[in-house]
Chains A and B, each alone.
Chain A
């Protein structure tokens, strides 16, 4: 019965996959976005959004506990038949594909914009596909180890921001609730996009070694995400004046401009390059999930052929078409909307639906 035991992941890997998927480019984008929507109170919606996400992720775990030995698709196939499972797998494959594409294009755009303006985008994409394929082809366990490792070697990031400490002005944050609750609450849905990724539990759950800690794991992952978002927004808002914060593009990187070490003059170049480790978590795990879904759909064990196709498609597609920043915005919006549907609403609906369905079927059996 334990179909997925061979590829099990530890709790820490589970946490890091979820954390990495969520945090990746939110760390760069969120401060500016919240500043335009809620001013210097922008950190409050992050907190609220985080709590909502925690609740939503617990719903996912609740859903998965109904069928602990299989993925969500196995569960659907078990309750509603093979085709229900396949449809769901296809839907999730598309969703994760979109997720990965968004993350990848964002990274390419950022690196092209800030580090390698002269290099053609498809070469950057090609380079990024090398580690992607190396890691994703070896299966979930390696993806988990990579997530763990990538987060571990990126632990220097918060410490770099400590250098900005002398330039921080806590007074910028005051007064709290400058304009009342309204802008804060209206900014909350916008944060959801940056918390997406926890629905991966529908696939990860059966692989988890200690399933009883799954909820705790997701809460921790979400907690670290909230903390890092809070950290970066607070640093940005205290560094930049309230008006600046709305104007400056990608303030997380801008803030680093103030740092000058004796051997490195501009930390941000190094930061962007090495932040690629965290960026990579926004597309490597989703890509793996995509091929997991498609190979599940086809009923195949081997996911590598699919991975090869997708990796090559990604690289080739950037040669012909690379979304501009505005188009990327549209893709992100699409991802945001489908993300809210897939991650926040769908698991709840499924939970209720399955609960009723099982009740009804049991009832039928009795008569």
Chain B
């Protein structure tokens, strides 16, 4: 039954048209009346069961007309409404009543559709008896988190401000880094019910117009109920959703976002979400961290190399362990072989079972650590350290070497700076382990071949994901394995397809080297 319905799903989707999302039978797209009573009546019909809707009747001081202020409590700034709207309307009589309102944004609205949506988004609406227009007052103010240090991408020397849940603030945070006229933002609305504001931010004279158009088209194509988080948007606009690798970088750091925009990439901000999308991304951009640019370049280069090494370790070390202990023990020196054999001798499982067991334990511990509240989270570490580390070896279930391999793999995956990349790596590690258990080294190499084949074919917004390795551009290796001195990076990366390729002039400090 279930299988048949699963098969039938596609057909069903074709035959029945999606129902339009009508919120209520009362048509929302008609003009308001010039009589206050009618308007309030209509409003009552539109907003049934909305106890947080507040309607305040105000007799205007200057003309004596009746007015009504409508807003939703909790989405509006109480102070602004009391002091800047109600107070002047009630008490001040100089000039017209409208000019006495002291809020920043006042817009005339005539149709019900924008009025209802404005109310729901935190504006307050002023209806005045006898006038065919309503006035939208910008009084938004909802519970907000203060700007904090980014949680996922901590840095030593970078700024300690992370994005928050409001798009206006996030835009402001980026704009602080790039106060330039050419920094443009295009607004899109996504989600029929959620109606999220999605801002596409780019440098108009640098970003490639085709890439920009591609991004905007993909965003506009989305027809969805609601988008809660940026991750959902990413999945809807990705080039290859079946890939284990992220094709867009998500960052919660304004400085990273600003630096990417300056390189010619496009940043997509989603309202209510504290991370932004950076695209087009390349594989190597997931190995960059904002600290790389503020530490000495030789040290940053070393760390970069370490990260790439860690990537391969995290992907293939358990697989190599399996391959070597079950197929190619002639590869390793006799002394090491004896050591391994000594520990392996007492273990009842095959290397593959051993490795899978330990890796799954590790993944569970990691997942447990993420979801648990901080005080409980510490116990996970203790349990993991004692049980998995000591007891399991003493009990003879797992060999010492395996514990070392798993620990090394875990550390290697921790130093990769991007969470999404690490998630992909974790998945691939298991596939590699299976391949290694079936085919030994050959299995590892074939999986590496498939992996490279996949990575070089992958695209992000139509630009090659594997750049600058495949297609090879040696001159752009300055910001990949190595982090060349900043004054060497005079060109923007080709992978951003920036229109204006020169990034800086000759900034090399005067000295012996020059």
In the docked arrangement, what's the CA distance between A311 and B302, Å? Answer: 42
* A319 part of interface (Cβ distance < 8 Å): no
Q: A263-B336, A266-B330 are contacts. A135–B457 as well, Cβ < 8 Å?
A: yes
Interface residue from A130, A148, A276, A277 paired with B471 (Cβ < 8 Å): A148
In the docked arrangement, what's the CA distance between A253 and B444, Å? Answer: 20
* A264 part of interface (Cβ distance < 8 Å): yes
Query: Is the CB–CB distance between B442 and A10 below 8 Å?
Result: no
Query: Is the CB–CB distance between A116 and B452 below 8 Å?
Result: no
Q: Which of B360-368, B462-470, B485-493 lies at the binding interface? A: B462-470
Query: Is the CB–CB distance between A264 and B449 below 8 Å?
Result: no
| Chain B residues whose C-beta falls within 8 Å of the C-beta of A145 in the assembled complex | 456-457, 464, 466, 470-472
- Tell me the residues in window 226-277 of chain A with beta carbons closer than 8 Å to chain B beta carbons: 260, 262-266, 269-270, 273-274, 276-277
The total of chain A residues at the interface (CB under 8 A) is 37
In the docked arrangement, what's the CA distance between A334 and B210, Å? Answer: 50
Q: Per-residue CB proximity of A141-160 to B under 8 Å, as 1/0?
A: 01011101110100000000
A50 to B: closest C-beta gap in Å? 25
Q: A12-B472, A148-B472, A276-B446 are contacts. A269–B456 as well, Cβ < 8 Å?
A: no
| Chain B residues whose C-beta falls within 8 Å of the C-beta of A128 in the assembled complex | 446
In the docked arrangement, what's the CA distance between A270 and B442, Å? Answer: 9
* A138 part of interface (Cβ distance < 8 Å): yes
- Tell me the residues in window 426-468 of chain B with beta carbons closer than 8 Å to chain A beta carbons: 435, 438-446, 449-450, 452-454, 456-457, 464, 466
| Chain A residues whose C-beta falls within 8 Å of the C-beta of B332 in the assembled complex | 263-265
Q: Name which of B332, B442, B453 has the most chain A CB atoms within 10 A of its CB.
A: B453
Query: Is the CB–CB distance between A269 and B331 below 8 Å?
Result: yes
| Chain A residues whose C-beta falls within 8 Å of the C-beta of B439 in the assembled complex | 116, 119, 123-124, 127
| Chain B residues whose C-beta falls within 8 Å of the C-beta of A149 in the assembled complex | 452, 456, 466, 469-470, 472
Query: Is the CB–CB distance between A148 and B441 below 8 Å?
Result: no
Query: Is the CB–CB distance between A266 and B442 below 8 Å?
Result: no
| Chain A residues whose C-beta falls within 8 Å of the C-beta of B440 in the assembled complex | 115-116
In the docked arrangement, what's the CA distance between A12 and B332, Å? Answer: 37
Q: Name which of B328, B457, B464 has the most chain A CB atoms within 10 A of its CB.
A: B457
| Chain A residues whose C-beta falls within 8 Å of the C-beta of B22 in the assembled complex | none
* B333 part of interface (Cβ distance < 8 Å): yes
Query: Is the CB–CB distance between B333 and A263 below 8 Å?
Result: yes
In the docked arrangement, what's the CA distance between A277 and B472, Å? Answer: 17
- Tell me the residues in window 34-84 of chain B with beta carbons closer than 8 Å to chain A beta carbons: none
In the docked arrangement, what's the CA distance between A12 and B444, Å? Answer: 27
A332 to B: closest C-beta gap in Å? 22
* B3 part of interface (Cβ distance < 8 Å): no
| Chain B residues whose C-beta falls within 8 Å of the C-beta of A13 in the assembled complex | 471-472
In the docked arrangement, what's the CA distance between A266 and B333, Å? Answer: 8
* A200 part of interface (Cβ distance < 8 Å): no
In the docked arrangement, what's the CA distance between A269 and B331, Å? Answer: 7
Query: Is the CB–CB distance between A277 and B334 below 8 Å?
Result: no
Q: Per-residue CB proximity of B468-499 to A under 8 Å, as 1/0?
A: 01111000000000000000000000000000
In the docked arrangement, what's the CA distance between A148 and B330, Å? Answer: 32
A8 to B: closest C-beta gap in Å? 11
The chain B residue sitting closest to A115, CB to CB, is B442
* A365 part of interface (Cβ distance < 8 Å): no
| Chain B residues whose C-beta falls within 8 Å of the C-beta of A323 in the assembled complex | none
Q: A115-B442, A116-B439, A149-B470 are contacts. A265–B330 as well, Cβ < 8 Å?
A: yes
Query: Is the CB–CB distance between B453 and A10 below 8 Å?
Result: no
Query: Is the CB–CB distance between B333 and A273 below 8 Å?
Result: no
Query: Is the CB–CB distance between A277 and B456 below 8 Å?
Result: no
Q: A111-B442, A127-B442 are contacts. A270–B331 as well, Cβ < 8 Å?
A: yes
| Chain A residues whose C-beta falls within 8 Å of the C-beta of B452 in the assembled complex | 131, 146, 149-150
Query: Is the CB–CB distance between B472 and A127 below 8 Å?
Result: no
Q: A13-B471, A148-B472 are contacts. A269–B441 as well, Cβ < 8 Å?
A: yes
The chain B residue sitting closest to A128, CB to CB, is B446
A285 to B: closest C-beta gap in Å? 13
A314 to B: closest C-beta gap in Å? 15
Interface residue from A123, A144, A264, A276 paired with B445 (Cβ < 8 Å): A276
The chain A residue sitting closest to B333, CB to CB, is A265
The total of chain B residues at the interface (CB under 8 A) is 31
| Chain B residues whose C-beta falls within 8 Å of the C-beta of A135 in the assembled complex | 449, 453, 456-457
In the docked arrangement, what's the CA distance between A135 and B448, Å? Answer: 12
Query: Is the CB–CB distance between A273 and B457 below 8 Å?
Result: no
Query: Is the CB–CB distance between A273 and B444 below 8 Å?
Result: yes
Query: Is the CB–CB distance between A265 and B456 below 8 Å?
Result: no
Q: Per-residue CB proximity of A1-29 to B under 8 Å, as 1/0?
A: 00000000010110000000000000000
B405 to A: closest C-beta gap in Å? 14
| Chain B residues whose C-beta falls within 8 Å of the C-beta of A71 in the assembled complex | none
Interface residue from B327, B333, B449, B456 paired with A276 (Cβ < 8 Å): B449
Query: Is the CB–CB distance between B469 and A130 below 8 Å?
Result: no
- Tell me the residues in window 328-352 of chain B with beta carbons closer than 8 Å to chain A beta carbons: 328, 330-334, 336
In the docked arrangement, what's the CA distance between A265 and B338, Å? Answer: 13
Query: Is the CB–CB distance between B454 and A134 below 8 Å?
Result: yes
A199 to B: closest C-beta gap in Å? 24
Interface residue from B336, B438, B446, B469 paired with A131 (Cβ < 8 Å): B446
Interface residue from A119, A152, A269, A273 paired with B469 (Cβ < 8 Å): A152
* A57 part of interface (Cβ distance < 8 Å): no
The chain B residue sitting closest to A112, CB to CB, is B442
In the docked arrangement, what's the CA distance between A138 and B243, Å? Answer: 15
Query: Is the CB–CB distance between B453 and A152 below 8 Å?
Result: no
Query: Is the CB–CB distance between A134 and B328 below 8 Å?
Result: no
The chain A residue sitting closest to B334, CB to CB, is A265
The chain A residue sitting closest to B470, CB to CB, is A145
| Chain B residues whose C-beta falls within 8 Å of the C-beta of A116 in the assembled complex | 327, 439-440, 442
Query: Is the CB–CB distance between A134 and B453 below 8 Å?
Result: yes
In the docked arrangement, what's the CA distance between A269 and B440, Å? Answer: 11
The chain A residue sitting closest to B452, CB to CB, is A149
| Chain B residues whose C-beta falls within 8 Å of the C-beta of A270 in the assembled complex | 331, 441
Q: A115-B442, A266-B330, A269-B330 are contacts. A280–B449 as well, Cβ < 8 Å?
A: yes
| Chain B residues whose C-beta falls within 8 Å of the C-beta of A276 in the assembled complex | 442, 445-446, 449
The chain B residue sitting closest to A147, CB to CB, is B470
Q: Per-residue CB proximity of B175-193 to A under 8 Å, as 1/0?
A: 0000000000000000000
The chain B residue sitting closest to A280, CB to CB, is B449
A86 to B: closest C-beta gap in Å? 30
A120 to B: closest C-beta gap in Å? 11
Query: Is the CB–CB distance between A148 and B470 below 8 Å?
Result: yes
| Chain A residues whose C-beta falls within 8 Å of the C-beta of B453 in the assembled complex | 131, 134-135, 142, 146
- Tell me the residues in window 310-337 of chain B with beta carbons closer than 8 Å to chain A beta carbons: 327-328, 330-334, 336
In the docked arrangement, what's the CA distance between A134 and B332, Å? Answer: 32
Q: A145-B456, A146-B452 are contacts. A152–B331 as well, Cβ < 8 Å?
A: no
The chain B residue sitting closest to A275, CB to CB, is B445
The chain B residue sitting closest to A119, CB to CB, is B439
A149 to B: closest C-beta gap in Å? 4
In the docked arrangement, what's the CA distance between A148 and B473, Å? Answer: 11
- Tell me the residues in window 390-443 of chain B with beta carbons closer than 8 Å to chain A beta carbons: 435, 438-443
In the docked arrangement, what's the CA distance between A150 and B453, Å? Answer: 10
The chain A residue sitting closest to B444, CB to CB, is A273
Query: Is the CB–CB distance between B457 and A138 below 8 Å?
Result: yes
Q: Name which of A128, A145, A148, A263 has the most chain B CB atoms within 10 A of its CB.
A: A145
Q: Which 10 A-B pairs have the closest CB atoms?
A: A131-B449, A145-B470, A134-B453, A273-B441, A135-B453, A138-B457, A149-B470, A145-B456, A142-B457, A273-B445
Q: List 7 A-B contacts (CB under 8 A).
A: A124-B439, A127-B435, A131-B449, A134-B457, A135-B456, A263-B336, A269-B328
Q: Name 7 extra pairs, CB < 8 A, besides A127-B435, A127-B442, A145-B471.
A: A115-B441, A123-B438, A127-B443, A130-B446, A135-B457, A145-B464, A145-B472
